[in-house]
Structures are given as C-alpha cells and as structure tokens.
Chains A and B, each alone.
Chain A
Amino acid sequence: MFQTERNIITQTPYTDSFDFDEIKDFITNASKNLFISHRFKNSDKILVQPRGGFPTYDKVFELYGEFVGAGVDILPLTIDSNTRLNDYAMAKKMLALSEETDENMLNGYPLVNHGYRVTRKMVTHYDTPISLRHGTPDARLLVEVALASGIFEIEGGPITYLLPYSKNFPLDKAFLYWKYVEKVCAEYSKLNEPINRESFGPLSATLQPPAIVIVIQLLEMLLSLEEGVKSFSVSFSQTGSMSQDIVSSNVIKKLARKYADRFGHNDAIVNLVYHQWMGAFPRDKEFSDSLINTSTVIASLVRADKMITKTRDEAFGIPTKEVNATAVRNTQYTLNMLRGLPVITDEEEEENLTQMVDDIMEAVFNDPADTLWRQVFNSIKKGIIDIPFSPHIINNGEAITIRDEEYNIRFYKRGNIPISDRCLAFERSKVKLGGKSLVENIIHDIGIML
C-alpha cells in the first residue's frame, strides 16, 4: 500500500525516474560519514552547521568547498521557495535562467528539478553529512529525492514548518504529509545508520515562550518516533537571555527523554540543536560578530549537540559563500576555547518551566481524539498551543509574551494555554512595564539586538 503511494508521489516529469531498488542499495552501502546520526554518536564536540543554498549545482559545489575549507561539520542544503510551495514548473524555469545568466534567480537549490542522480555526486564527493533545510508543508517528493541523494538529515515538521510560514495551508493536511515523511525516514533507517529528523524550534523567532517551543518540540518528536524514526533532534533558538537558554536546555533535555520513554521509544536517540540568534540582526557588522560569538558561548553552556550559525551580513540579505564560511571558521575558533564548562542549573526556573510544559502536554493528551496528530491538531485549534506572531489563521493568537528586566521571555497573557494560575503569577511577577504601554514594551523587546 505505502509503496503504491510512494510510486505515485515520485512519478513526475519534474524529477528523475525513481529506481527504488537502486536507492535501497545505495543507502545500505552508503558511507557512514554521510549520516549525522553517526557523527552525533562518535563526536564529543558541538557540530557546526551554517545555512546556505544556491540555484545551480556548480554554485552549491563551490559553497561546499568553501565550507569544508573552513572546517564545517555538517553541510546545509537550503531549498528555494518555489519548491517549498511545490511549484516545480516555476523552479525549473528559474533554474534554467540561473544556469544561462549566472544570476541567482532562486533563493535556494531546487533539489527536485536537479534530481537525485546528479545531486548524489556532490554528496558523495564531499563525504560529509548534509542537512535538508526547507519550510515545506508538503515535503513528500522533496524528501524522497533528498534521501535518494544521500541527504540523511531532514529538518521540519507539520507544526514548525506551517505556523510560522503560512496563512492558510490546511494544518490537517500538513500532519498527513509529514506522516509520510516520517514513514520513509523510518524505513530507510533500517538499512544503515538511522536517518535523523530535526524539528524547527525557532518558530516565528519573535518573543517565543520557551514553554510553547518545548511543547511543540516534544510533540513533533513523538509524532516522528511513533512512525519508527530512531534519531531525532529537538531545537530552540537563542532567546536573548543567557539564563533562559540554559533553563530551556535543561528542561527540554530532561523532558524529551521522559516523554520518549513514556511512549515506549526507549531506543530512540534525542539530540539538542541550538540556533544562533534568529531575530532581527544589527546593521553594524562588528556587533553581529559579537552577537555570533556570544551565541557560540551559550551553545557551549547549554551543551548542544549541534549549533546553526548566522553571519555578519544577516541584516543585509543572503550572505556570500566567503562570508558564510568565515562565520563557520570563527565559530569553530571560539568553540575550541570552550571545553569542559560547568553545568549550570536554576531549580526554581526549571521547576516553573517544567510545570508549564507538563500542564500543556497533559491537556493535549486529554483531548478525546483517537490519534496523537488529531489531538495536536485539536489543541492548536483550541489555542491550547498558541504561538505569538504566527501568520496562520488556525493559530489562536491570544497569548502575549514580554521580556522581564533580565530579558527572559515571560507570559503576560496566557490566552487558552492551560498554564496554571501559580505559573502565570510567577511569570507576571517578573515583568515590569516601567510606565510604558504594553506595545511599546513589546516593540523594545523584539529589537533588543539592533
């Protein structure tokens, strides 16, 4: 049954004809170096991964050369936005134009149009793990092509690739499309080292409350593991408060294990990914360097397994390959002096955050629906899960967050999020509006790094 579905999905004039037997052989015999799950197991340093992708094969090949020269651990493959919207015809046209004119007519690599036979040459040439970065609600074909190419880490998920990116793509469809992705990843995971799935914790990158970020990370993890995925990365981005990052990390690590085990996934490996600051960057490039450096220090303090880098050109658009590689080199340099840091804990804050996450998780599990994805779907519809600054119509948008004096992100209004009165009181006790209106405070709190 499932194979019939896969045959239908992969039969399109926009990509190579699929030879599933050959792909199975390739994955079975693929170099261990291509699997990030293998790197996670055998490395005791934080793996460094930038972002990046260009339309043509040659430019991505050169970009990878630059990254490898800078000591990258994990290569990215960022996909263009036409492909993200499944508009392969437009991607094909723009790729042809990019190849003719040498201009970049796409903001990423149109992987489906290039196809797996060509892309695999580049992947095996560098023999380095590659992570697929996209933002696609329906990633079924894209992920088939990626895995067949030797790209063995797939980022995204039905919630994290939808609520921050789309106004009205149907959420229930996204759940079913991602179920397909999880199943394919699970099936290929039996052949060699496991395929790693990674969730996208930054969400809309604007005053995201850690409790909601963690809940969504845990739920996407469970949805993935229940389809048979064995290696999963939860993630979050720099909040703007170093201590809140540490608290978030301690709680997400503990709870990811707890919930994975509770649902019987004791054999699944869970990793932590830390995103350097995802909000608005300063236009002063020296400030950007300083910010990136600080992010690297925090990634060490939170004991991340992987860190995703930014560049000093963030405020100005897509960075050149040289600037991008410099960020990787500098991050590795800084990381090198951050060995053996002490483990920091904050019991009161961790207890409060754990309580909020557990309360929301229980509310999701108490939904009467018969499957987890439907419970999550209903919970989002009811506002039990509610992210600030989502463009999506299904998101409740009642919860309001604000920074306290130490720049921790706190709940100001909970909307329908079922956090207890006690936790809300704790959160609100930290907040001082300082004689300014709520909105003035929020505007200030969004722009703290400018």
Chain B
Amino acid sequence: MRVVTGVVGNDIHVVANRLIEISLKERGFEVFNLGVNTYLEEFIDAVIETDADVLLISSLNGEAEGWSRDLLFLKSKFDLDGVLFAIGGNLSVGEANAEDMSQKYRAYGYDLVFHQIDLNEGLDIIEQTLKEQN
C-alpha cells in the first residue's frame, strides 16, 4: 500500500510529520513524505504520480482549514475515486470538538478526519478502513 503524506500550508512542524512517516513504515506502508510546508496541489500531484492508495495530510493549529477549501474542486478534476483521503492533527485554530471538526472536514472532501487523536489510533482506523474496502 502506498501513502502520500505531509504537512499542509505554511507550517514547518517537522517532528510530528517525521513520526507519522516512521509509524507508517513500521506498519509496512510504502511512504512518500512530502514534508512540511506543502500545498494541496502538490499533494494531489504526488497522489497521481505515485498511484497512491492513501493521502494522509497532517496539520497543526488550524492551518489546514484555509488550505482544504479547494479539495473538492481538485478531486473533481482527476479520477481519484480509489484513494482514501485522511487528515489529522490539531484541525482548529481555537478549541473545537472532534465531531464538529469531522463534519466540517468531511464536507471539504476527506473520508477520515482525526482531530486531536492519538497517532496510532488514527493509523489503526486507516488500516481498518483499507481492509474493509478490499
């Protein structure tokens, strides 16, 4: 299974990004890590280029919200039906509950939304979802 991952927007929080990469590799994924400070268009390009199964975007402190508004538009331009879109991290600027965040980001076009949940828990859910799809 191939995963494209990275941190969206003008965000240089590298530690979590690196931990996600290590965790994914430990679980046997082939990982394409675009690193910090990545634009949404670059994620989509990488998904197409690598024929990825999963796009896992991470974000801290609400950066993702402004950057996610174009996701549905970008998805509509390409055939990305088989790709699982996931986003996780701290998805709001201030405090927010996970359910509200989940609804909001699903509307932006994500299949899985992890607001402030443990990294391994999120990755378990991704693996579970992939299993159910196949």
- Contact of B15 with A167 in the complex, beta carbons under 8 Å: no
A interface, CB within 8 angstroms of B: 167, 204, 206, 388-391, 393, 397, 400, 437-440, 442-443, 446
Residue of B nearest to A440 (CB): B120
Q: Once the chains bind, are B15 and A439 in contact (CB under 8 Å)? A: no
Task: Give Cα A370 to B9, complex, Å.
Answer: 39
- For B12, B14, B26, B119, which residue has the most chain A Cβ atoms within 10 angstroms? B14
Which B residues are CB-close (under 8 A) to A206?
15
Also in contact, A167 and B19, with CB within 8 A (given A391-B12, A438-B26, A439-B120): no
Q: In the complex, A437 Cα to B119 Cα: how many Å?
A: 12
CA of A397 to CA of B14 in the docked complex: distance in angstroms? 11
Chain B 35-51 residues near chain A, CB threshold 8 A: 35-37
Residue of B nearest to A388 (CB): B18
The number of chain B residues touching the other chain, given as a range, is 10 to 19
Query: Is A167 touching B120 in the complex (CB atoms < 8 A)?
Result: no
Q: Which of B19, B22, B37, B120 contacts A391 (CB 8 A)?
A: B37
Known: A204-B14, A206-B15. A167 touches B22 (CB 8 A): no
Residues in chain A near residue B12, CB distance under 8 A: 167, 391
Contact B35 A391 (CB under 8 A): yes
B23 interface hit (Cβ, 8 Å): yes
Q: Which of B18, B23, B33, B36 contacts A167 (CB 8 A)?
A: B36
Q: Measured between C-beta atoms, what is the minimum distance from B116 to chain A in Å? A: 15
Q: How far is the CA of A438 from the CA of B24 in the complex (A)?
A: 11
B117 to chain A, nearest CB (A): 14
Chain A hits for B26, CB < 8 A? 437-439
**Contact flag A389-B35 (CB < 8 Å), given A400-B22, A439-B26:** no
By beta carbon, the residue of chain A nearest B119 is A439
**How close is B56's CB to chain A, nearest CB, in angstroms?**
15
Contact in complex: B23, A446 (CB < 8 Å): no
Q: Are B19 and A442 in contact (CB under 8 A)?
A: yes
For A393, list chain B residues within 8 Å (CB): 35
CB distance from B61 to the nearest CB of A (A): 15
* Contact A391–B36 (Cβ < 8 Å): yes
| A/B interface sample: 30 pairs, CB < 8 A | A167-B12, A167-B35, A167-B37, A204-B14, A388-B18, A389-B15, A389-B18, A391-B12, A391-B14, A391-B35, A391-B36, A391-B37, A393-B35, A397-B21, A397-B33, A400-B22, A437-B23, A437-B26, A437-B120, A438-B22, A439-B19, A439-B22, A439-B23, A439-B26, A439-B119, A439-B120, A440-B120, A442-B19, A442-B22, A443-B19
